[in-house]
Structure formats: C-alpha cells, structure tokens
Structure 1
C-alpha cells in the first residue's frame, strides 16, 4: 500500500503539472499559429492568451473583451462627435488615434440627459511598476478593471483599441519602457507617451542616457515594431509569466519562446536578454566542473557580448523612474509642439 500511495502521488503530481503547462502550451501555439498565418492575427488574442495562461485558464476573457469593446465604442463615439482641425487625407485615421489618446489620457466631457459629466482617464500605477510583487500589475486585464496601468499595459491597450477601430498602432521600445509610434501624412513619425499623456520628441528618449547610437542603428530601441514583432514581444511575456509560475523550471520553455521570437525579430532585446538570463540560470544550477557548465559559460559570454555590441545598456530601475517623471516636470522641454492641438 505504501508504494501504491507513492505512485498515486507521483501520478497526480505529474497530471497537475501537465495541466498547468497546457495553458502555456496553448498560448504558445496560439501566437505561433498567428506567426505562421494559420490563425487570424489579433494582438488582443495574443495578449489575453498570455494573461490567461498565467491565471491557469481562470481569466474571464469574455468579460475582459466586453470591457475592451466598451472602451472601443466610446472611442468611436468620440470620432463621430468631434471634428479635428486636421486637413490631410488620413484625417479619419488620425481622428481615431486622437480618440484613443483622449480616452486613455484625457478628461473627456460627456453629455448624459442634458447633464455634463467628466470621464476620468486611466492613471499611472506607481505601486508595482515592474511587476516584481505581482506580475498581473503589467496585465491589460488588470488595467481595464482598475483604470490603473503602466508602461506595459497602457501601450498594449492602445494597440488593442487601435485594432478594434481598424487602424494600426506600432509599439516601440526604450530602456525598461514601451510606447507608441505613429506615422501620419502631416508630420511623419511621432511618439505617443501614455504614462504621462503627451507626445514627446525623440530628445526625451535620448535624455535617458541609456540609448546608445548602436541601439538605434540596430533597431534595439526606438524602432516601430510591426505586428509580427509585437507577437514576438508577447512570446517573451509568455516566457516570463511561465518562469514566474514555475520558478524551478529547467528553462526549456523560456528558451523555446526566446528562440521563436528571435526568428521573427533577431535584435529583439527582451528576447535576447531572456535567452541569456535563462542560460545563466541553467549554468548556476550545475557544478562548475560539469562539461555542460563550461559550454554554457562560453555561450553566455557570447550572448552578453552580442547584446552589448548591438547597443543595449542596463538602466537602473530608480533612474528609469526619475527619467519617466522628467517628462511631466520638463514637459515644455520635450513636448512635440506640432501635435499640441
């Protein structure tokens, strides 16, 4: 009987583990199928599949989708009832960008039964900016429920809303940061910063002091990611969620996600860092005399050297927060005045 219960325990443990992994495997397959054009592209589906995997299938995606569609309909209402002072032929598209920005970042007057109420925009949540305490602090599902977000969830929601309205929004990366880039006929490319609700010049991004010229030339930072590259970013999110769910994992799933992301975007720095750091974790679990440890050490040196060569520089979290706040305190210095009206 003793051995029977031991075998039963092992079988149940294995079954539970396989069920837990199934949600991550399903999310990976969903994103991979989009990359292979076997499934219709949807950034919203990719993002929510990652979040649902972390929640182990318990995220009410129907309710989250309902909230997103409600916000999108609000954006459409603004487009119908507001006329921009913009004369180019892409006015309809720009009007949608402006409506999404208004809903996320600005107080908006709403007329209800002849009474005017002011819609309150989303706010920046400084409690757990990097999701160290709670990974869900970075989630879109948390953002649409609490109206509080950060530089991960806010641009993700913006891109999702843009797709709901039938227009494209490009995600871009900066040190520890994500923002939105648009290209319109009147001025070309411009930046949309959702954490502070303004349109900063590239000078603000450079002011961080951690964007090396090589990083710009190699598309590490400040590049407008296309839809496939945005899916690659979701694969990195999926791997990080998996590592948080299973801290004692062997690194196989994270490496799988990183390598698939790098097939799509070879210089995607978050994927490069994920791969190198996972190899580092694998190395630390081995005896230094183990031949595998020696192989990993050589590989690690190559990976970190490559990451440095393409322009990545580590930005301390404290400095990141100071840089983020500087956009509000020095708004006049960094705001793109071409978009002020």
Structure 2
C-alpha cells in the first residue's frame, strides 16, 4: 500500500519561486496590430484604385480590396494562432499523470464515486455515503445489510434508553445529549440487562498512515476504538438514525461535532476523542486556528449537508491516494468536492499535492532539474502547470490553513484532560442535564 504523501509538498521544489516567475506564455496577436480595413475606414494611402470616373466601378474595386485585406488579416490571425497551438502541444500527453485505473480494486473507487454523485442533496444519507467510501477500500466485500442492521439495533437501544430516561423524543437537545452519553459514558437498559461501554480514542496509527482502515467506522464498531475521523462519522450516522440534527465541524487535523439547543440559540461542542463537552476556547487554544480560517468559515463552523458531502468526497480521495497514489481521478474527485464547497481547505491541500506531483512529473519528462530550470520557458504548458501549482498553495494560504505538527496535535488532545477542562465538562453536562425536555 502506498503511503499518503504529506500535505504541502512545495519543499520538493525549493528552486521554484512564484514571486519572480516571468509571464512566459505566448501572446495572442491583438487585432489592432493589423491594418483595419472596414467600410467606414477606407483611408486611401493603402488602396490605389484604377483611374476611372465610374463611381460604381470605383466602389466595387474598393469593396473587393477591403474584402481581400480582411481575408489576409484573418489568415495572419489563423497562422499566429497555429503557432501558439503548436507551441502548446509540443509536449507529451498534456503531462497527464499515469492512471492507476487498471490496478486491482481501483474500479471500486470509481463505482463509489458514482454512488456518491447519485446521492442527491434531498435523499443524501450519511450512512450510505460512508459505507460506500469504506467498502471501496474493501473492494465491495462488506455487506451493507449487516452494517445497516448494526446501526438500526444501536438506534433501537438509544430510543429505548431515551424512553427509560423519560426524555422528550422530539427534543433535538435530548437526542444529542443521549448520543453524547452513548459515546462517553456507560449506558445500561436495566429492564433488558443491556449495557454499552463508552467508545475510546485509539492513539495507534491514528492518522492511518500504515493502515487506512484505521480511519473507518467499521473498525470503530468492531473494536470500540476510533479517532477524530471515525468517531464523529459514527455520531452523524446515529444522529441520522434517531432523527437528531448535528453537524460536523473542523479544525486543523481534526473534526468534532456541533449541535444546537431546541430554540437554535446556543451551540454545543462535542469532543468525541475524549468524551467531553467543550467550548470554542478549547479549539482556539491549540494555537493553529488563524483568523482568516474563522473569517472564511473554514474551521469551527458547522458544516451544512452540502459541505459535509464535499468532505466525504475528500475522504474518498484520501482512501484512493492511500491505496494507489495520485492520478487524474484524484483531481476529478477533488474537483467535485470543491464544486460543493469552494472553501474546503482539505480538498485544496490535496489539490496542492496533485498539482505539485504533476509539475514534478512534467519536469521529469522534459529532463528539467534545478540546474537547468530556466529551460521551462520553452514549454508553455509546463509553465501553466507550475502557475496552477502556485495558485493552489496561494488558495490554501488565503483560506487560512495552518498545519498542526503531529506532536502538537497529541499535546492538544491530551490537554482536554487538564483539570480546568474536566471541570468545564462537568459544569456543561450538569447544566444540560437540568434543561433536557422530558415527556409530559
């Protein structure tokens, strides 16, 4: 299995400087550079009609001259465009990356991509989408009916526990508070002697670098351990199952859950990696959430259904990259993600990688290295690829992303267990417990 290439690979090309790249693209000739002969512009130094007193013949000759000059002008423009086209096509295969489409199992990612595209916003199901993404990795060996049955049984457990606690089944606050307890506490239905233990964080290969399936809901259901990708995804699946409204939210290298009270006045943050209710201040104390990201609603903002779909396309692409690598299909998936959410900074990070790899591929094909980089001037489309790569990095910067190093991420996650955060979690739980609507 190929490992996912680290985000932001601009360091591969330390000799490429976006600030000093000259504008080397050939210019299309401007029509104003050619003599303009029109029926309203017949300045006669360029036209020498026959000496005749017959005005009709004179006019016909003038018209013929104008038409001939216009034809010559059009021919010159075509010739100029042909030269440009020849320059733009004097390279191998448009530098398209080699496809992994023929590799064993790659077709399942194409099928999953089509399944996601067929899920319209109206009938979009988080459960179906996530299963399709994970099943592509397993080459469609997983059984959807079994997965659906597990989710339904869990939903039945939650509904019965809600009834036992006397919660109002129509309250979004009550349903989300119960979901939070399901993930963070031990829940038991006494009448049936059913017990569910809290789900825990798996620190082993939590970014899926060695085994991408570590990121999956399937693995979480089987082991009771997950991380910041699978835990929030299972929460959303179960929220969908019991009719609760909840949203995914993002921060650098991380995702968590946000939900509202019944009056839609207040938002609550659920940090599933540690099973605590947190405030926005906890997210901000990581030190890696920039003001631009907040302004652009990239981080700490509840994702809409369409933005969630965009996020899942990005997840599908990451699974494909982890198993195979970068090719043009990756760009197709990411383009769809960005179509749904133009502020999806994770998608732009992947697009930056794709653009960087494509530039490197083009330079390798052309035999251009650091020592002879100036030769790129002779290859207009290679310059276009380079400019596109710089544009992707600029977009990541513009959106306000700042990468969090893995060791800093672990320190930040561990900080939620500091005494002040523990106390805050207790206070939030106590307050919520007192305002949960109950059955009348």
What is the TM-score of this pair, normalised by structure 2?
0.68
Moved over 4 A (4+): none
Work out the CA distance in 2 between the residues paired with 1:329 and 1:235: 35
**1:88-135, CA deviations, whole angstroms, 9 ceiling, x for partnerless residues?**
xx962222112211222111233256xx67531111111111011100
In structure 2, the partner of 1:143 is 220
In structure 2, the partner of 1:261 is 337
Q: Confirm whether residue 243 of structure 1 aligns to residue 321 of structure 2.
A: yes
What's the secondary structure of 2:198's corresponding residue? coil
In structure 1, the partner of 2:281 is 203
Moved more, 316-325 or 22-31: 22-31
- Selected match of 1:318 from 385, 407, 415: 407
Work out the CA distance in 1 between the residues paired with 2:282 and 2:424: 6
Q: Which runs of 5 or more structure 2 residues have no equivalent in the other structure? A: 1-98, 369-374, 434-440
In structure 1, the partner of 2:141 is 58
Work out the CA distance in 2 between the residues paired with 1:239 and 1:15: 13
Q: Superposed, which structure 2 residues align to 1:24-39 within 5 Å?
A: 24-35=109-120
Work out the CA distance in 2 between the residues paired with 1:305 and 1:267: 13
Q: Superposed, which structure 2 residues align to 1:1-341 within 5 Å?
A: 17=102, 20-35=105-120, 40-84=123-167, 92-111=171-190, 118-185=195-262, 188-247=266-325, 249=326, 251-287=327-363, 288=368, 289=375, 291=379, 292-330=381-419, 331-332=421-422, 335=425, 337-340=427-430, 341=433
In structure 2, the partner of 1:9 is none
**1:199-234, CA deviations, whole angstroms, 9 ceiling, x for partnerless residues?**
101000000100011101101101100111111111
- Is the CA contact 1:64–1:144 (under 8 Å) kept in the aligned structure 2? no
Work out the CA distance in 2 between the residues paired with 1:169 and 1:81: 23
Larger relative contact order, structure 1 or 2 (CA cutoff 8 Å, min sep 6): 2
Work out the CA distance in 1 between the residues paired with 2:246 and 2:309: 13
Work out the CA distance in 2 between the residues paired with 1:36 and 1:124: 31
- Is the CA contact 2:173–2:261 (under 8 Å) kept in the aligned structure 1? yes
**Distance of aligned partners of 1:217 and 1:16 in 2 relative to their CA distance in 1, 3 Å threshold:** closer
**Distance of aligned partners of 1:245 and 1:110 in 2 relative to their CA distance in 1, 3 Å threshold:** same
- Is the CA contact 1:23–1:56 (under 8 Å) kept in the aligned structure 2? yes
How far is 1:61 from its partner? 2.5
Aligned-residue RMSD, C-alpha: 2.3
**1:20-51, CA deviations, whole angstroms, 9 ceiling, x for partnerless residues?**
333112211121122465xx210111111011
Moved more, 278-287 or 191-200: 278-287
Q: Which of these two proteins has the greater Rg computed from alpha carbons?
A: 2
- Is the CA contact 1:35–1:228 (under 8 Å) kept in the aligned structure 2? no
Work out the CA distance in 2 between the residues paired with 1:162 and 1:140: 14
- Is the CA contact 2:355–2:392 (under 8 Å) kept in the aligned structure 1? no
Aligned residue pair count: 318
**1:46-80, CA deviations, whole angstroms, 9 ceiling, x for partnerless residues?**
11101111111112322222222221111111111
Q: Which runs of 5 or more structure 1 residues have no equivalent in the other structure? A: 1-13
What's the secondary structure of 1:286's corresponding residue? helix
- Is the CA contact 1:327–1:334 (under 8 Å) kept in the aligned structure 2? no
**Distance of aligned partners of 1:190 and 1:310 in 2 relative to their CA distance in 1, 3 Å threshold:** same
Work out the CA distance in 1 between the residues paired with 2:165 and 2:279: 26
Work out the CA distance in 2 between the residues paired with 1:66 and 1:218: 39
Work out the CA distance in 2 between the residues paired with 1:52 and 1:166: 25
**1:283-306, CA deviations, whole angstroms, 9 ceiling, x for partnerless residues?**
222323563443222112121112
What is the TM-score of this pair, normalised by structure 1?
0.86
